[in-house]
Amino acid sequence: MKILITGATGFIGQRLVKELLSHGHDLFLLVRPGSTKPRLENVRYVEGNVEESDVIGALSPFKKILPEIDCLVHMAALYDLTATLPELYLKNVVGTQNVINLAKKIPRLKYFHYFSTYAVNPQLKGKVKEEELSKSEHPFPDEYLRTKNDAEHIVRNQLIDGVQTIIHRPGVIIGESKTGLTDKLNGPYYFLNFILKLKSSGLHHRIPVLPLPLRKESLLPLLPVDTLANWVAHIITHPKGHKLRTYHEVSQEKIKTIQFIEEGMRLLGVERPILPIPMEKLFSPFFPLLKMPPEIIFYMQQGIELDRSQIMNDYPELKAPKFSEYFPKTIQWLKEGHL
Ligand SMILES: NC(=O)c1ccc[n+]([C@@H]2O[C@H](COP(=O)([O-])OP(=O)(O)OC[C@H]3O[C@@H](n4cnc5c(N)ncnc54)[C@H](OP(=O)(O)O)[C@@H]3O)[C@@H](O)[C@H]2O)c1
């Protein structure tokens, strides 16, 4: 398949490129003029910018590749909980609309893959189905989620004739399962960093319990980044013929947030009981002092379980490695001084 990819130089994109190459696809990577282009064999670079209404300039020599493309993967986005609404809106919402406009101009396009997020439904509770998308007029815990929700609405409302649309909703993505390696130390890494700092300051000996903004029952929908790349490459390579499909890309194993932190503390040698206090307002003022964005509290306290019916039905062969097998590698990598 000839695949055009946006966001291929990112955390997930770099690993997806390797997986897609191993399946024998021809890849065209859309990169901004001036961006660093990783030295990769068997890929072609296409200069473009998703923020421009004509993503690949009207007079660009790269336009000539469009008639060759069968599949478009749109993963370029701004994933930053502290960025402003205008910055996020331009990249995530306008960027997605621009890429859909580009897709409409690709004459033999058969597949459009869009990267959303598991947290796109922040107002829902209980078991959330893959085809559900909450209304955009509800309040959002942060502007990143507002813009990812808007962008997914755009994708769903503008299905292209003759094109199969696949929406990927990755969970909380952590380092590689075999090495622990990551280049994104956000999300749950903020807590691991906090525990490491507690240990190096010696403060952990003086506190009998560690109060944290958690709900006992909250789940953390983890997936290692190499597993995600492997799954998405498999899904791209083996399409199922649906006009529209959405997949919650999270492990089949249910991990509680409290279990993640307790196990992290055990592996880091800080064995103190956790006191879950699900009161966001109590903790928010302290988070900036700890160099954590208070926005992450929402992600630690989520009251949803992600249904996996569609991914299990279409791809029962996709299984994530066990938490007990890969998490010690995540921690080992951090202990080696990578944080
Ligand atoms: N990481 C996660 O935990 C996670 C979880 C759920 C969903 N997601 C979604 O998965 C996707 C990929 O995430 P990621 O973590 O891999 O992101 P990332 O590492 O921040 O990479 C972002 C990518 O977007 C490209 N980009 C940014 N602005 C662009 C523009 N104006 N035009 C063209 N390309 C542009 C960047 O290119 P440069 O090299 O030029 O900067 C980079 O390749 C995103 O849609 C994100 O919302 C991520």
Q: What is the pLDDT of residues 151-182, one digit of tens each?
A: 999 999 999 999 999 999 999 999 999 999 99
> What number is the average pLDDT over the span 137-141?
88
List CB contacts of 324: < 8 A, sequence separation 6 or more: none
Residue 90 alpha carbon to ligand 1 centre in Å: 13
- pLDDT band at 339; cut points 50, 70, 90: low
Q: Which residues line ligand 1 (CB under 6 A)?
A: 6-13, 31-32, 35, 49-51, 75-77, 79, 91, 115, 117, 148, 170, 173, 184
Residue 271 exposure: Cα atoms within 13 Å on the Cβ side: 3
At residue 281, the pLDDT reads 75
Strands 210-212 vs 274-276: parallel, antiparallel or unpaired: parallel
If one counts every other C-beta atom within 10 angstroms of the C-beta of residue 66, the result is: 19
At residue 41, the pLDDT reads 83
User: pLDDT exceeding 70 applies to what percent of the chain?
Assistant: 99
For 136, the 3-state DSSP assignment is coil
Strand ranges, E, within 148-220: 164-170, 172-174, 210-212
Q: Locate 138 and state its tokens.
A: 């509800």
Could you read off the pLDDT of 210-242 as tens digits, one per residue?
988 889 999 999 999 999 999 999 999 999 999
- pLDDT band at 285; cut points 50, 70, 90: confident
If one counts every other C-beta atom within 10 angstroms of the C-beta of residue 325, the result is: 10
Residue 165 alpha carbon to ligand 1 centre in Å: 19
Per DSSP, 286 falls in state G
The closest alpha carbon to 327, from 272, 262, 274, belongs to 262
Cβ atoms of 193 and 333 within 8 Å: the answer is: no
At residue 30, the pLDDT reads 97
> What number is the average pLDDT over the span 194-200?
88
- Write the residue with the smallest CA distance to atom 8 of ligand 1: 117
39, 60, 79, 220: residue to mutate for ligand 1 pocket, most atoms within 8 A of CB: 79
- pLDDT band at 258; cut points 50, 70, 90: very high
At residue 288, the pLDDT reads 81
Q: Locate 297 and state its tokens.
A: 């509290």
At residue 303, the pLDDT reads 85
Atom of ligand 1 nearest to the CA of 187: 3
Could you read off the pLDDT of 31-86 as tens digits, one per residue?
999 888 888 888 999 999 999 999 998 889 999 999 999 999 999 999 999 899 99
At residue 37, the pLDDT reads 86
Average pLDDT across the chain, whole number: 94
Cβ atoms of 298 and 142 within 8 Å: the answer is: yes
Atom of ligand 1 nearest to the CA of 174: 3
